Each structure stands twice: as structure tokens, then as C-alpha cells.
Amino acid sequence: MIGGAVYARHQAGTLIEELRKLDTAADPTAVSRSLIRMYSDRLVSQNCDRDFCQYQFLFTNGVISKLHIAPRAEFRMYISIYAGSLSDINVEYMSAVFKADSPIVTVQEDFCGNRTDISCDHFAIHPHGRDVGQTWNGDVEFGQKATREQKRAAWALNLDCVAAFRGCKDISQLLPTIWKLTGPGTVSSRMRSTADSIAEASQPLSE
């Protein structure tokens, strides 16, 4: 049982580390195609239309969830290729899958390649601000040129949720570097979002 929990966490950690390093690769598109081949046994869908292809992969804590050591947790990885180049990578991380309001966090990095029409340094969080609702669903989307600190926080998913006995209850547990639980049904963001209002930007961040 312990081995199953360690393996599930290690598998999730390896996947996140591979994705985290993509934007520093000399050729992110080539590396992403290698990942597609590497995880072909986890491929659950492939949708292609003209210049666009998206590949979806599913990873679970299957063994320990079937033994009721921990509720089912899922990683869904999406790799999108547009016009022959890596467009974005996306991970959906969900805990306690079959429970009502199962918490889910989505992290997406957008790749801009040699495009000059956009800055690609965006960093968007939802929900954002202080003491805001929706503790069960969180999104982080950032560009390839976001800061190192922003990227580190976005990819710091709490992998303990994979093997936690009762799973994780909200987005602050799934991604604690981005959100902090501040009350029943409310969270505050720990990072600035490019969508922050002037009023929000004047407020201190959650510790």
C-alpha cells in the first residue's frame, strides 16, 4: 500500500517536472512530441482539425484508490500543437473525483515561439483578490515569458493530494503557492494576476 502511494506521487512529480522544463528546452515542440510518444499508453483522445491537434492524457492514482487508501485523484494533461509548433500545455489536477464539488485546478502555459505580436508575459489567476469565492475550481494561465517566480508558483502543485487519505478539499490545498483559504468558502490569492484591479494591487498579498 505504501509502495502504491509512493509510486502515484512519483509519477505525478515526474510528469510535472517534465512539463515545467519544456519552456527552457532548445526545441519545446520536439520535446512535446517526445512526451506524446512516451505517454502513448495514457492517451485518451486525439483531436486534429486542419493546423491544430490536441492530445489528452489521463493519469490516476488507480491502485491506491481501488484499495480505498485514498479517494481517486486525476491528472489530465493536454498538449496542443498549432501550425507545427507547440501552442500550449495544460494540466487539470482533481482530487476526490467522485465527490460533490470535487476540487480541481487547471494550470496552462502558452508558448509563443517567434511571435512578435504578443508579449507572452501574462499571468492570470482565477479566482484572484482577497476573500473571494469559488474554492473548488481554480485556473492559472501564463505565458512562456512569465517570471521565474510566477512559473515556480504555478507548477508547485501539492502532490500529497494524490495519496491523502481523504483527498484534498479545495484549491488552496491543491495549489497552496497560489491560494490561501481565508474562511468557509473563501480564498485569497498569494500572487498578483494580470487581471488584478488597481484596488486589488494596492492590497497586501496573503502570506
The pLDDT of residue 117 is 56
For the chain, give the DSSP string: -HHHHHHHHHHHHHHHHHHHTGGGSS-HHHHHHHHHHHTGGGEEEEEEETTEEEEEEEEE-HHHHHTTSS---EEEEEEEEETTEEEEEEEEEESSTTSTT--EEEEEEE--TT--SS----EEEES-SSSBS--SEEEEEEETTS-HHHHHHHT---GGGGT-TT---SHHHH-TTTEEEEETTEEEESS--TT--HHHHTSPPP-
Indicate if the pLDDT at residue 200 is higher than 80. Answer: no
What sign for the dihedral angle of Cα 196, 197, 201, 206?
Answer: negative
Average pLDDT over residues 179-199: 89
Query: Which grid coordinates are listed for 86?
Result: 507547440
Cα 54 to chain centroid distance, Å, stands at 17
- Average pLDDT (80-109) is 92
Q: pLDDT tens digits for 166-178?
A: 889 999 999 999 9
Global confidence as pTM: 0.91
Reported as a single tens digit per residue, the pLDDT across 39-69 is 999 999 999 998 999 999 999 988 888 888 8
pLDDT (average), residues 191-204: 80
Distance CA 116, CA 154 (A): 24
Strand 104-110 to strand 137-143: parallel, antiparallel, or no bridges (unpaired)?
parallel
pLDDT at site 196: 81
Tell whether the model's pLDDT for residue 74 goes beyond 90: yes
Q: What is the per-residue pLDDT for 197?
A: 73
Cell of 126: 482565477
Neighbours of 130 (CB within 10 A): 16
